[in-house]
Structure 1
């Protein structure tokens, strides 16, 4: 089965320690901390790769440095790097990231997901698919794709 994988032997990176967040104020239980790149990274780091038993963090597909958050403008941009230039799972990986963030972030956020410039042979097409609401909705209505997304997200919810 490993011979059928596009990247049968990916480089696996060490996982970073999770950060512990401190409350903004001990006297203000209603204080809302701004969302930052570390918080977004904590949401997506444990998404399982569709082809390997590793997380997106372990494969260095996502990192805190690849996430830009503008809390005041309610915007998140995630740039991810597929493990190989012809990764057939790039769109599925981006879809998993989008679904996880749609479930995790307040609905006020606009989420843009892109592959790192020059990291994928079909970069423009993948980016267009991942940021088109109708295409994303249609993909999520597909039972097979929806099941694959659920499987990739299952490990991140444990």
Structure 2
């Protein structure tokens, strides 16, 4: 148990073993699907715990969709508690990972799952507003936290 955390004892699930993992060199093409997106983000570390978003069931394969015709990637994630103070950071990590690894011409929408957060509308607004995202990425402390979460692929 980690003292001072909102969810000090999260439920941790086993990582799924997968045969098909996206490779960074494959993501430069337009030939990817929702499973490729999921494979690229599932190992992002939670900002408060030493576990991945997949292990905490914040993300699942079903929470990622890709619409090639509309050029849209949609990710819906479920925070571990309704009042998670790190929901915006988790969403920012997802956005940065996609910005760094997938074609820029796709519109990326990231939302907390309906009914899963006490401030759902506010968090969704923050995550999908270009100016707010740009401002957040100019904050060196926040960017360092995002980079730490993205760098933890060996969970």
Tell me the TM-score normalised to structure 1 length: 0.89
Report the secondary structure of 2:111's partner residue: strand
| TM-aligned CA distance change 1:109 to 1:157, over 3 Å | farther
For 1:154 and 1:99, the matched residues in 2 are separated by 12
Tell me, yes or no, if structure 1 residue 54 matches structure 2 residue 51. Answer: yes
| Aligned positions, number | 148
For 2:74 and 2:82, the matched residues in 1 are separated by 21
Q: Which runs of 5+ in 2 are unaligned?
A: 22-28
Tell me the TM-score normalised to structure 2 length: 0.90
Give 1:84-123 correspondences, 5 Å limit: 84-123=81-120
For 2:129 and 2:44, the matched residues in 1 are separated by 22
Q: Which runs of 5+ in 1 are unaligned?
A: 22-31
- Name the residue aligned to 1:138: 135
Give 1:1-158 correspondences, 5 Å limit: 2-20=2-20, 34-156=31-153
Aligned CA-pair RMSD: 1.7
Kept after mapping to 2: 8 A contact 1:87/1:120: yes
Q: Which has the larger radius of gyration?
A: 1
Question: How much does 1:74 deviate?
Answer: 1.4
For 1:7 and 1:71, the matched residues in 2 are separated by 37
Report the secondary structure of 2:114's partner residue: coil
